[in-house]
């Protein structure tokens, strides 16, 4: 399982690896990727502008960041890099989608741009609604162009008076897009999932030993639902709250019950999708469950709640 989330201070331990891989990738491709200093990446992380992918064991997988320009008129999505061993597995697309949705959610009126020389990034941008544009259609902020000075092709950029370069500029303009295929859950909205769960007895693998009855099997999963906390940044409210209700058996004696049924009510915000929550539950419990179809969005949360950790399941 790979976690794709907003980078936190604890992730600064991966900065040297991110910078090294970014530079190595530029050399291997012979393309002009602007060099990022460790200090600049740390700053992006501290400002909550970095999106990182890590494994469940804490291994670095990928990174990208966004920046805001000209009084929130433009947002850049930059610095996408994936560790070599995790490439061609959908990680880059997951990071790209996540950082784009964060940009859209926080700055819904801003134009989002990306400058790249990579065909794969161009394809991902196009799928999100970006269109190729000339450089004069993106930000004119001097601080943005300062970042290009470390690129091997900077002399070409300057020679053409920033009209174009070897990279392609791509722009998402919210005023020109319907955005139907990438609709976002508003940051102020919470959603609900209701699960109808069934736990069954489990046989023991040890010869002559008794197995676990349905009640005990259910209790194991109920304890998980009660105690598990979805990954989230420190000092912020839980993005997912799971409550177990309506526990009952088939009416037999506890030791002979063929099944134990219980219901789980799940309230979640925009930090997680339904698929991500259900995949996490599948990975941690043994009960069988079905999702009720007649559940709708239920409540409102504070607009200031920020996007945090999400789980990418490559299945």
CATH of domain 189-302: 3.30.70.360
Is there a contact between 175 and 197 (Cβ–Cβ < 8 Å)?
no
Question: What is the model's pLDDT at position 60?
Answer: 95
pLDDT per residue as tens digits for the range 253-301:
556 678 899 999 999 876 677 887 888 899 889 999 999 886 544 433 3
| Stronger pLDDT, 119 or 114, i.e. the higher one | 114
Which helix (H) or strand (E) is 22 found in, with range?
Answer: helix 15-29
pLDDT higher for 275 or 103?
A: 103
Q: What is the mean pLDDT of residues 24-48?
A: 78
Residue 90 has pLDDT above 80, yes or no: yes
pLDDT at 296: 46
Mean pLDDT for the stretch of residues 84-95: 90
* The pLDDT value given to residue 203: 72
Residue 178: pLDDT over 60: no
- How confident is residue 65, by pLDDT bands cut at 50, 70 and 90? very high
Show the CA angle centred on residue 133, arms to residues 29 and 114, nearest 5°.
50
User: Within its chain, how far is the Cα of 169 from the centroid?
Assistant: 24
> Which residue, chain included where needed, has tokens 């134009």?
111
Domain with residues 2-182, CATH architecture: 3-Layer(aba) Sandwich (3.40)
According to CATH, where is 3.30.70.360 located in the chain? Answer: 189-302
The pLDDT, as a whole number, for residue 43 is 93
> Could you tell me whether strands 74-82 and 111-116 are parallel, antiparallel, or unpaired per DSSP bridges?
parallel
| Cα–Cα distances in angstroms (integers) from residue 124 to residues 19, 91, 170, 215, 225, in the given order | 23, 12, 11, 48, 36
pLDDT at 307: 35
- Cα 30 to the chain's mean position, in Å? 29
Beta bridge partners of 64: 51
The yes-or-no verdict on residue 183 having pLDDT over 90 is: no
Confidence label for 144 from pLDDT (cuts 50, 70 and 90): confident
DSSP SS3 for 265: strand
| Nearest-angstrom CA–CA distance, 142 and 43 | 19
Q: Residue 82 has what pLDDT?
A: 94
* Amino acid 204: pLDDT: 59
Best CA proximity match to 79, nearest among 110, 52, 107, 112: 52
Please name which of 3, 23, 129, 141 lies closest in space to residue 79, comparing C-alpha atoms: 23
Q: Looking at residue 180, what is its pLDDT?
A: 43
Is pLDDT larger for residue 231 or for residue 195? 195
Query: What global pTM score does this model have?
Result: 0.61
Helices and strands, counts by H and E, the chain = 8, 13
CATH 3.40.630.30 spans which residues of the chain?
2-182
Confidence of residue 139 (pLDDT cuts 50, 70, 90): confident
Residue 84 confidence (pLDDT): 92
């Amino acid at each position: 399982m790979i976690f794709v989330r907003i980078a936190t201070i604890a992730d600064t331990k991966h900065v040297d690896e991110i910078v090294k891989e970014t530079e190595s990738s530029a050399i291997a491709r012979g393309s002009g990727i602007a060099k990022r200093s460790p200090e600049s990446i740390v700053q992006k992380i501290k400002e909550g502008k970095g999106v990182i992918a890590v494994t469940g064991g804490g291994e670095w997988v990928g990174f990208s960041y966004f920046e805001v320009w000209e009084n929130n008129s433009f947002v850049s999505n930059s610095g996408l890099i994936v560790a070599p061993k995790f490439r061609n597995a959908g990680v880059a697309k997951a990071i790209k989608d996540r950082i784009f949705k964060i940009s859209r959610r926080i700055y819904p009126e801003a134009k989002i741009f990306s400058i790249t020389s990579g065909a794969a990034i161009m394809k991902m941008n196009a799928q999100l609604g970006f269109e190729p544009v000339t450089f004069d259609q993106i930000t004119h902020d001097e601080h943005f162009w300062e970042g290009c000075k470390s690129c091997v092709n900077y002399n070409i950029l300057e020679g053409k008076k920033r009209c174009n370069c070897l990279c392609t500029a791509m722009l998402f303009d919210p005023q020109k897009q319907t955005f139907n295929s990438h609709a976002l859950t508003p940051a102020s909205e919470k959603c609900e999932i209701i699960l109808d769960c069934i736990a069954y007895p489990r046989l023991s693998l040890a010869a002559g030993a008794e197995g676990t009855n349905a009640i005990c099997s259910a209790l194991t999963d109920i304890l998980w639902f009660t105690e598990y906390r979805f990954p989230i940044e420190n000092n912020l409210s839980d993005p997912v709250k799971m409550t177990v209700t309506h526990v009952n058996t088939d009416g037999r004696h506890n030791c002979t019950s063929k099944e134990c049924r219980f219901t789980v009510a799940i309230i979640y915000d925009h930090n997680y999708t339904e698929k991500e929550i259900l995949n996490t539950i599948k990975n941690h419990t043994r009960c069988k469950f079905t999702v009720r179809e007649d559940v709708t969005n239920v409540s409102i949360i504070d607009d200031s709640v920020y996007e945090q950790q999400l789980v990418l399941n490559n299945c």
